[in-house]
Chain A
Amino acid sequence: MIGFAGLTHLGFVSSLASADKGFDVIGYDPRKATIDGIAAGRFEVSEPGLESLYARAKPRVTFSADPAALAGCSVVYIAVDVPTSPDGRSDVAPVRELVTSVAQAVRPGTILVILSQVHPGFTRQLTPAVEAFGCTLMYQVETLIFGRAIERALHPERFIVGCADPAAALPSALRSYLDAFGCPVLPMRFESAELAKIAINMFLVSSVSTTNMLAEICEHVGASWSEIAPALRLDARIGPKAYLGPGLGIGGSNLGRDMATVEMLAAEHGTDVELVRAWRSNSRYRRDWALRVLHARMPASTRIIAVWGLAYKEDTHSTFNSPAVELLGALRPFALRVHDPVASRPAALDGFDLTVTASPLEACEGADVLAIMTAWPQFRAVEAHEIARRLRTRLVIDPFGVLPERACGEAGLIALRLGDGTPS
């Protein structure tokens, strides 16, 4: 039996994926409201296909707010969220507390595996406290992607497992669980695994930042990044799945947290970290692309602005570090008409003249301009001429190219996209 302690986005989805793979699963979380919510079909997270996965997994998974429920597990994953400060600093105290409480609740011989994001050295430091209860502590890299969490949980590319001694065989219960997913398993020392997680994210940040930097140059020299990216994907050194879509900086919390961790490690050990500072600076700068374009292009008479999207990216409810929220926060003098399929109006926008509408087109009614700040798939289906019929001007800020270029042209809309320059 496999246990998951901490029914966060990662813990909840992973528990369902494990049950779907045929394991009996216990999901534990001390928050009773979370357990009651799951029982009532109210989930704290949003993922495509979550309801159907839950329906499939339900016969094999039990959720409880009592840690004693984990007593029958041979492996317990620790998946509590690590709180992050606005500047990306992690607070790992909740991981330490949960590991300790789970170690007290399970039988001796149980394997505890930290899935939460921790800094290099954390797992080794905590190992004696877990071994005191007769348990084994391990670490496993998890690369949750909001909006694709289920796909990644069911079909991982590989497992990176941090061990006290990578030369020793993995505990059989953990090995047989991991083998069920049919992907490579890479045991390595704790510190390597902990840093591997950060390394993966730093390479993603590097790709995103390089893309964003070059996309801006495209906008000024009349090139189109959408024409360049396919050529890069065919280069084996870059790869077909590289992060080559221009975006509004680096969203979400995980990448920002890892950049902060690298800066902290560099400061502690005296290594060069200017590159991370440059990534941060570029991210802040590109995040405000829509604000600059809006001010540069909207008529002076603009009073009402429609905004589609609040979430930091499609298929998630999270508005943390969301460019949409950042944009709205800079538009206080304007009347704002906002629609998001899932995300709620954040408290940061309290006191604004902001109307949340039931549909994207309703947001456009009487607005001067439209900004499409989250690339929700349902926005792609909205007819461009219906937008044009409702807007007072023809200006659409469409950073991600959600609306088809040809349809916009036919409807007379001027859609401004990231990385899309106009040849002189």
Chain B
Amino acid sequence: MIGAGGFVGRTVVSQLSGTGVELVALGSRDADLSSPAAVGILQDRLRADDAVVFVSALTPDRGKDIATLMNNLAMGAHVCAALSARRPSHVVYISSDAVYEERAALVNESTPCDPPSFHGTMHRVRERMLIEQLGAAGVPLAVLRPSLLYGAEDTHNGYGPNRFFRTAIKDKKITLFGGGEEQRDHVAVEDLASIVAATLRTRATGVLNVATGASRSFGDIARLIARLVGDGVQIEERPRASAITHRHFDPTAMLRAFPEFRPMPLEAGLGRMADRLGVHP
């Protein structure tokens, strides 16, 4: 697991622990992926019969600028170099739905990739690096593109469940842009971890979106969280800076790849998040 210390990495590690899988969890303390020295460190730690999950990236809350982009690409290049040299038996790269064009309202795996941000560009370029390099090295690759993730361990402060819970608990207030009409597909991070585990178990390859197939508005989420937190949490509306856009996912490919997988309904996922955050209305 490259990136085991992050929000997603920790959840995947937690889910794989106890399944009999021998786990090597590598975090930023083990290797600074932005440094060329990471190539040698990773090569030393990897074996040819390993399956590798690569999930490390500097997320937008740590920078949306060119320098962050270049740093992220350097990390990708170093991991690619190590993987090409060591040729593990299977690689799973956790990308993002940020690779898709912004106007795509219904997204599937064939939706054109035209990322509107450096974050999306970074993931798309890393995907291409891995496809080219691992393809040439004959290493099977799966690329997972999750929609918006949520979970109690989320350290980012992105607009959505995580920020809504924090401000509801701390300030008794949730702030929406406009009425929070925008619909998005929110995925419990545990569901992403389950898909990662299933991808590893089946040695699946190719590109797969990870989404529930049921988008909900930020306004709905705010009201759900306000109810969960209770104690008079207020929902405040601020003028929106941009036009309303929606994003829905066609889950067909995931249903075909993993027919037994059932995504967690939003109400249940937020309820679990509330429990873990110690929220007791």
Residue B252 lies at the interface, judged by CB distance under 8 Å to chain A = yes
Residue B280 lies at the interface, judged by CB distance under 8 Å to chain A = no
Cβ-Cβ contact count across A and B, 8 Å cutoff? 32
Chain B residues whose C-beta falls within 8 Å of the C-beta of A281 in the assembled complex: 110
**In the complex, which residue of chain B has the Cβ closest to the Cβ of A216?**
B106
Chain A residues whose C-beta falls within 8 Å of the C-beta of B259 in the assembled complex: 295, 330-334
Bound-state CA distance A332–B278 (Å) is 40
Bound-state CA distance A331–B259 (Å) is 7
Q: Report 7 cross-chain contacts, Cβ distance below 8 Å, ordered by A residue.
A: A281-B110, A292-B250, A292-B252, A295-B213, A296-B213, A330-B255, A332-B259
Interface string of B85-114 (1 = CB under 8 A from A): 000000000000000000000101010000
Question: Chain A residues in contact with chain B, CB under 8 A?
Answer: 281, 285, 288, 291-292, 295-296, 300, 329-334
**In the complex, which residue of chain B has the Cβ closest to the Cβ of A329?**
B256
Residue B170 lies at the interface, judged by CB distance under 8 Å to chain A = no
**In the complex, which residue of chain A has the Cβ closest to the Cβ of B258?**
A333
Interface string of B194-216 (1 = CB under 8 A from A): 00000000000000000001100
B251 touches A330 (CB 8 A): no
A292 touches B110 (CB 8 A): no
A330 touches B262 (CB 8 A): no
Chain B residues whose C-beta falls within 8 Å of the C-beta of A295 in the assembled complex: 213, 251, 255, 259, 262
Chain A residues whose C-beta falls within 8 Å of the C-beta of B106 in the assembled complex: 285
Bound-state CA distance A296–B213 (Å) is 9
Distance to closest chain B CB from A219 (angstroms): 13
A292 touches B213 (CB 8 A): yes
Bound-state CA distance A285–B108 (Å) is 9
Besides the known contacts A291-B252, A295-B259, A330-B259, 11 further A-B residue pairs in the complex with CB atoms under 8 A apart: A281-B110, A285-B108, A285-B252, A288-B255, A292-B250, A292-B251, A292-B252, A296-B214, A330-B255, A331-B259, A332-B259
Distance to closest chain B CB from A134 (angstroms): 52
B252 touches A288 (CB 8 A): yes
Given known pairs A285-B250, A292-B213, the reply for A300 and B256 (CB within 8 Å) is: no
Residue B260 lies at the interface, judged by CB distance under 8 Å to chain A = yes
Chain A residues whose C-beta falls within 8 Å of the C-beta of B252 in the assembled complex: 285, 288, 291-292
Tally of chain B residues near chain A (CB < 8 A): 13
Interface string of B106-135 (1 = CB under 8 A from A): 101010000000000000000000000000
Bound-state CA distance A288–B214 (Å) is 16
Question: Chain B residues in contact with chain A, CB under 8 A?
Answer: 106, 108, 110, 213-214, 250-252, 255-256, 259-260, 262
Chain B residues whose C-beta falls within 8 Å of the C-beta of A333 in the assembled complex: 259-260
Chain A residues whose C-beta falls within 8 Å of the C-beta of B214 in the assembled complex: 296
Distance to closest chain A CB from B251 (angstroms): 7
Bound-state CA distance A296–B265 (Å) is 11
Bound-state CA distance A329–B110 (Å) is 20
Closest 3 A/B residue pairs (Cβ): A288-B252, A330-B256, A333-B260
**In the complex, which residue of chain A has the Cβ closest to the Cβ of B250?**
A285
Chain A residues whose C-beta falls within 8 Å of the C-beta of B262 in the assembled complex: 295, 300
Bound-state CA distance A330–B259 (Å) is 7
Given known pairs A281-B110, A333-B260, the reply for A291 and B255 (CB within 8 Å) is: yes
Chain A residues whose C-beta falls within 8 Å of the C-beta of B110 in the assembled complex: 281
Bound-state CA distance A329–B259 (Å) is 10
Chain A residues whose C-beta falls within 8 Å of the C-beta of B108 in the assembled complex: 285
Partner of B255, one of A285, A292, A300: A292
**In the complex, which residue of chain A has the Cβ closest to the Cβ of B251?**
A292
**In the complex, which residue of chain B has the Cβ closest to the Cβ of A285?**
B250
Chain B residues whose C-beta falls within 8 Å of the C-beta of A291 in the assembled complex: 252, 255-256
Bound-state CA distance A292–B260 (Å) is 13
Bound-state CA distance A295–B212 (Å) is 11
Chain A residues whose C-beta falls within 8 Å of the C-beta of B213 in the assembled complex: 292, 295-296
**In the complex, which residue of chain A has the Cβ closest to the Cβ of B108?**
A285
Bound-state CA distance A296–B106 (Å) is 17
Chain A residues whose C-beta falls within 8 Å of the C-beta of B250 in the assembled complex: 285, 292
Bound-state CA distance A296–B214 (Å) is 9
Distance to closest chain A CB from B4 (angstroms): 31
Bound-state CA distance A285–B250 (Å) is 8
Bound-state CA distance A333–B261 (Å) is 11
Distance to closest chain A CB from B103 (angstroms): 14
Bound-state CA distance A291–B256 (Å) is 9
Bound-state CA distance A329–B255 (Å) is 11
Chain B residues whose C-beta falls within 8 Å of the C-beta of A300 in the assembled complex: 262
**In the complex, which residue of chain A has the Cβ closest to the Cβ of B252?**
A288
Chain B residues whose C-beta falls within 8 Å of the C-beta of A331 in the assembled complex: 259
Bound-state CA distance A333–B108 (Å) is 23
Q: With a 10 A CB-CB cut-off, give which of A285, A295, A334 has the most chain B CB atoms.
A: A295
Bound-state CA distance A360–B160 (Å) is 48
Chain B residues whose C-beta falls within 8 Å of the C-beta of A329 in the assembled complex: 256
